[in-house]
């Protein structure tokens, strides 16, 4: 019996209740889940409760959680300060239909911490990026947007372009094709979304010059996190800032994820100031809240009756209070340093094991987040991600789950996240579990053929 067959049988034997729930759920909703990214073979797990760094599935199995809500829970699960504060807040009402008084305090906290002039609050990351794209177009009077191959910015049509394009469709490396990421997107929509390769400033400049009078914004995650954890190479972000200034378009950082990876966000970490920024996930401790932030001259383009930004649940009192408490009392600078130290310990432990086992594995990380790619070379863009060994990654994920560790989000393009509630014991246990499966991973990799370079 192969390692993957053995681990699949073990997974099924310890999650029979989840399998039963899945059988019922898939008759009510496609694939039994309400987000495509939650599905994974042979079936998704269903969870019943979570606390601190731990989460329990419907069968009662305990896991140390390094997914942490796809990075939204740097606070950890059910942080006691949040539980107390939100309990008090519920008594005062969960939705007003008017502005929450606390929204002014949250606006002050966000602008001060992340260094922007003005903010608008929404509920989800997809809402924030959708509205921000409209804002960029309204401000510049231009309609085209440049985004990067392999990057995900929410599930609305204009940005669902070249998110996970196959190697058969990607086209030329220096000038990638515009590949719709879903059926149901009109072809005329994607013509306004120009695709560029990440970490290739020369190619970006050529593309930008070609569309010099049409581009409203250059949009990117400072660290792309839907092709693993791809760090910008030296000079790349600086070069994009220069090009945005030269061609009078906005530099737009999507920090829905990265705002929770550093105390003041990735823009501060890399010392690059964008004109427009979206933030979300970690800043509200698991409650739905997202932010559009930017310079005053850009943000004041939002005018009722001229540029639309609206939403019933925008700035609702629960999410606003959760964000205030999260940013002020939980995700403090010392809290971030603690989580970052644990992240470094986890990554270096994995590195040591991979080296000792002679695994062809790339560990890419900064601070509290990172990922593992089973590949000969580092992942620097979407094309190099396509060359990674996803079969070995799946065995890694399944084997760690069977040993009580959720190592990353549900896919080889996801990351781990350390929270302020993780412990050294949690990290050491994950490292030990990885060591116990390293031999199986090496055997699988040796059986796999080499991937042809794109």
Lowest mean pLDDT among 43-47, 87-91, 343-347: 87-91
**Is pLDDT of 190 > 80?**
yes
- CA–CA–CA angle 25, 31, 33 (5° rounding): 65
Q: For residue 221, give Cα distances in angstroms to 173, 216, 251, 374.
A: 19, 17, 11, 23
Query: What region does 69 belong to: left with phi over 0, alpha with psi -120 to 50, or beta?
Result: left
**Is pLDDT of 249 > 90?**
yes
Q: How far is CA 39 from the centre of its chain?
A: 17
Q: Residue 448's pLDDT is what?
A: 65
Burial code (b: 16+ CB inside 10 Å, e: under 16) for 248-264 equals ebbbbbbbbbbbbbbbe
Task: Find, among 160, 239, 229, 168, the residue nearest to 207 by Cα.
Answer: 239
Task: Find, among 355, 431, 401, 394, the residue nearest to 12 by Cα.
Answer: 401
How confident is the model over 113-127, as a mean pLDDT?
97
How confident is the model over 355-368, as a mean pLDDT?
95
How confident is the model over 231-257, as a mean pLDDT?
98
Q: Residue 423's pLDDT is what?
A: 98
Residue 136 pLDDT level (bands cut at 50, 70, 90): very high
The span from the CA of 422 to the CA of 342, in Å, is: 8
Q: Residue 452's pLDDT is what?
A: 46
Q: Residue 434's pLDDT is what?
A: 98
**Is pLDDT of 332 > 90?**
yes
When the pLDDT of each residue in the chain is averaged and rounded to a whole number, the result is 95
Residue 446 pLDDT level (bands cut at 50, 70, 90): confident
Q: Residue 444's pLDDT is what?
A: 86
Task: Find, among 331, 322, 235, 337, the residue nearest to 286 by Cα.
Answer: 322
The span from the CA of 276 to the CA of 266, in Å, is: 13
**Count of positions (residues) in the chain:** 454
How confident is the model over 396-425, as a mean pLDDT?
97
Residue 453 pLDDT level (bands cut at 50, 70, 90): very low
For the chain, domain boundaries: 3-74+332-447, 80-330
Residue 445 pLDDT level (bands cut at 50, 70, 90): confident
Task: Find, among 124, 131, 134, 159, the residue nearest to 35 by Cα.
Answer: 124
Q: Residue 240's pLDDT is what?
A: 98
Q: What percent of the chain has pLDDT over 90?
A: 93
Q: Does domain 80-330 have CATH number 3.40.50.1580?
A: no
How confident is the model over 45-55, as a mean pLDDT?
97
pTM exceeds cut of 0.85: yes
Q: Residue 449's pLDDT is what?
A: 56
**Is pLDDT of 451 > 50?**
no
The span from the CA of 413 to the CA of 379, in Å, is: 11
Contact 424, 345 (CB under 8 A): yes
Q: Does domain 3-74+332-447 have CATH number 3.20.80.10?
A: no
**Is pLDDT of 427 > 50?**
yes
């Amino acid at each position: 019996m192969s390692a993957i067959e053995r681990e699949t049988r073990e997974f099924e034997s310890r999650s029979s209740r989840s399998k039963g729930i899945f059988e019922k759920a898939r008759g009510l909703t496609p694939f039994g889940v309400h987000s495509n990214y939650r599905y994974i073979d042979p079936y998704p797990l269903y969870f019943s409760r979570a606390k601190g760094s731990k989460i329990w599935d419907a069968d009662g199995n305990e896991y140390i959680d390094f997914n942490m809500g796809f990075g939204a829970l740097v606070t950890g699960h059910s942080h006691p300060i949040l539980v107390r504060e939100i309990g008090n807040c519920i008594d005062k009402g969960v939705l007003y239909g008017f502005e929450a008084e606390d929204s002014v305090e949250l606006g002050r906290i966000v602008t001060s911490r992340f260094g922007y002039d003005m903010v608008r609050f929404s509920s989800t990351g997809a809402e924030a990026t959708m509205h921000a794209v409209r804002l960029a177009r309204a401000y510049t009077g231009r309609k085209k947007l440049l985004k990067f191959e392999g990057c995900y910015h929410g599930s609305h049509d204009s940005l669902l372009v070249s998110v996970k394009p196959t190697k058969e469709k990607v086209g030329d490396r220096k000038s990638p094709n515009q590949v719709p990421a879903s059926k149901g997107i009109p072809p005329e929509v994607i013509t306004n979304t120009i695709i560029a390769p990440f970490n290739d400033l020369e190619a970006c400049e050529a593309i930008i010059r070609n569309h010099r009078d049409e581009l409203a914004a250059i949009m990117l995650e400072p660290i792309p996190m839907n092709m693993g954890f791809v760090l910008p190479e030296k000079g790349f972000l600086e070069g994009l800032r220069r090009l945005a200034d030269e061609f009078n378009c906005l530099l737009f950082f999507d920090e829905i994820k990265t705002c929770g990876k550093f105390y003041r966000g990735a823009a501060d970490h890399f010392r690059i100031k964008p004109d427009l920024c979206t933030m979300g996930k970690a800043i509200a401790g698991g409650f739905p809240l997202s932010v559009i932030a930017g310079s005053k001259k850009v943000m004041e383009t939002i005018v009722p009756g001229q540029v639309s930004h609206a939403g019933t649940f925008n700035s609702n009192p629960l999410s606003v209070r959760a964000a205030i408490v999260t940013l002020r009392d939980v995700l403090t600078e010392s809290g971030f340093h603690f989580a970052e130290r644990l992240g470094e310990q986890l990554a270096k432990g994995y590195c040591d094991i991979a080296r000792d086992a002679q695994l062809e594995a790339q560990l890419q990380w900064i601070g509290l987040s990172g990922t593992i790619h089973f590949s000969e070379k580092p992942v620097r863009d979407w094309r190099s991600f396509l060359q990674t060994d996803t079969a070995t990654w799946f065995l890694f994920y399944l084997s760690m789950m069977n040993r009580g560790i959720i190592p990353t989000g549900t896919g080889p393009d996801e990351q781990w996240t350390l929270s302020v509630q993780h412990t050294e014991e949690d990290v050491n246990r994950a490292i030990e579990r990885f060591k116990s499966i390293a031999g199986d991973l090496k055997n699988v990799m040796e059986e796999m053929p080499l991937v042809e370079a794109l």
